Amino acid sequence: MQTIKTVAELRRALIEIRKAGKRVGFVPTMGYLHDGHLALIEASKAQSDVSVVSIFVNPTQFGPNEDLGTYPRDFLRDEKLCRDAGISILFAPDAKEIYPAQFQTFVEPSELAKPLCGAFRPGHFRGVATVVCKLFNMVQPDVAFFGQKDFQQCAVVRRMSVDLNLPIEIIIVPTVREADGLAMSSRNRYLNQQERERALAISRGLFAAAEQFNSGERDVERLLATVKQRLAAVDRLEYLDLVDSVNLKPAGNPLRTTAALCVAAYVGSTRLIDNMVLSLPA
């Protein structure tokens, strides 16, 4: 595995790979890798000849009072995990490489960035879309992999790829969960034992609503009430919404198309997100 820090070096490393006609898979991450990231890496390895992982904690997607400074980092551990997983190239640029002096051009997602996390994290998806677009331009992958846990991010990236004619297939990989259901996230490490237990309310609520949905319930209010009841254990509910899975607008009642139950909640000072797709034929 090559660990590469600059765009120039990355381009050089990719020349031979491209000449050989190899299919390049790409997994963008912010590091502190867990089994969710490893599932993206496995998917990339299964669907491409060469896999590139990036590790970059992107400052433009953090708000002024968010956890950019304390975001968990362990580069040596991440590097070993990537090597052991059979990654060909680990791209780990520093902030100046991605945002050189005078940087001023951003990708601005529109409607899809407004609801859910977008309503509480102004500028977040602008930062995500910008860095993903830049990383796509640097790596020029054939296919890129994103985790379903970041449901709105997946929608924004898919839309951006279509809108900007990026010739990259976007694959969404199902959320990986701990044995008790908690969605894997680098931020889970902020939780103490008692908070970790209370955080389970989120996945339990979503699973309870999915069960109700699978038994035939289509009433939006009743499905939301099922989740809400479990969420009494969290410290602050930011949002709980049932949205159309494609345009992220509030789902029609009763449900007639595939929808996603999306939650963001604080447990202690940790903000957690999770979602559950309720699938119906289009």
- Residue 161 makes CB contacts below 8 A (sequence gap 6+) with 136, 168, 170
Quick note: the x/- pattern for ligand PAF over 45-84, rule CB under 6 A, is -------------x--x-----------------------
Q: How far is the CB of 264 from ligand PAF (least distance, A)?
A: 15
Residues 113, 70: contact at Cβ < 8 Å? no
* Region of residue 239 (left: phi > 0; alpha: psi -120 to 50; beta: else): beta
Question: Which stretch in 25-33, 69-77, 93-101, 111-119 sits in contact with ligand PAF by CB under 6 A?
Answer: 25-33
Active site positions, annotated: 37
**Residue 90: DSSP 8-state:** E
Residues 268, 233: contact at Cβ < 8 Å? no
Is position 188 an interface residue for ligand PAF (rule: CB under 6 A)? no
Among positions 78, 150, 195, 241, the unique one binding ligand PAF when judged by CB under 6 A: 150
Between 29 and 270, CB nearer to ligand PAF: 29
Question: Which stretch in 11-19, 23-31, 62-70, 103-111 sits in contact with ligand PAF by CB under 6 A?
Answer: 23-31
Among positions 30, 224, 227, 261, the unique one binding ligand PAF when judged by CB under 6 A: 30
Is position 112 an interface residue for ligand PAF (rule: CB under 6 A)? no
Burial zone of 97 (CB within 10 Å; 0-12 exposed, 13-18 middle, 19+ buried): middle
Is position 273 an interface residue for ligand PAF (rule: CB under 6 A)? no
**Residue 33: DSSP 8-state:** -
Phi, psi of 206 (to 5 degrees): -65, -40
Question: Which stretch in 82-90, 128-136, 233-241, 259-267 sits in contact with ligand PAF by CB under 6 A?
Answer: 128-136
**Residue 244: DSSP 8-state:** E
Between 95 and 232, CB nearer to ligand PAF: 95
Residues 87, 41: contact at Cβ < 8 Å? yes
- 221-242 burial string, b = 16+ CB within 10 Å, else e? eebbebbeebbebbeebbebbb
Give residues 240-269 in contact with ligand PAF (rule: CB under 6 A): none
Q: How far is the CB of 146 from ligand PAF (least distance, A)?
A: 6
Is position 43 an interface residue for ligand PAF (rule: CB under 6 A)? no
- Which residues of the chain form contacts with ligand PAF (CB under 6 A)? 28-30, 58, 61, 128, 131-132, 150, 153
